[in-house]
Amino acid sequence: MAKSKKQNYQTEDENEVIRFFIILAVVVTITLGFYLFTKNVVKKVNVNRPDAVQQGEIDYTKVTVGTMLGKPDSEYYVIAYDTEDTLAPTYKYVVNVYEEDDNKLPVYYIDLNNTLNEKYIAKDGNVNKSAKTINELSLGKVTLIKVENGKIANYFDGIEEIKTELKYEENSQ
């Protein structure tokens, strides 16, 4: 007996259905590949980048001149200086040494480089040490203000006056 060959004839519609499923399988495979790639590779690359987005934090020690008298503490210091100044690290260091003391008052910082504070900067070095309100303020290059019960109690202009007020000693370095 001779074997009969069964002929496999497909219609045009059957061929179209087969092509459709092949294309669908390729598209699903490529999409799944991109998904796995981005999930595993791209995420790891972004997390380790030094310029990756960090969650923001609010620094409650930074204030503007307009809000400096409204802090919840009854007595505290406010130091105002330009953070872009070449001596800014020195000012910060003096305050940091003061803050290590257990009996310290809270210290708030004003950046004179902030446009909200510009109108309070002394023109031609004419600081107003007798200022009692915010409108009377005329801040020098570096100024320390002692606030008591929401009012300006004392005004110290220049790093030497600030060191004296904060009892900073050169050998504390």
Check residue 39 and give its pLDDT.
Answer: 81
Check residue 44 and give its pLDDT.
Answer: 60
Check residue 167 and give its pLDDT.
Answer: 85
Check residue 78 and give its pLDDT.
Answer: 92
Check residue 24 and give its pLDDT.
Answer: 95
Check residue 147 and give its pLDDT.
Answer: 92
Check residue 43 and give its pLDDT.
Answer: 59
Check residue 23 and give its pLDDT.
Answer: 96
Specify the residue for token string 């210091």.
77
- Tell me how many degrees the CA angle 170-128-121 measures, rounded to the nearest 5: 80
User: Are the C-beta atoms of residues 63 and 71 closer than 8 Å to each other?
Assistant: yes
CA distance readout (Å), 112 to 22, 37, 85, 88, 143: 67, 48, 10, 11, 10
**Collapsed DSSP state (helix, strand, coil) of residue 1:** coil
Check residue 7 and give its pLDDT.
Answer: 64
Contacts of 155 (CB under 8 A, 6+ apart): 127, 128, 129, 130, 131, 143, 144, 145, 146
Helix (H) or strand (E) holding 20, with range, is: helix 12-37
Strands 142-148, 151-157: pairing is antiparallel
Residues of the chain scoring pLDDT < 50? none
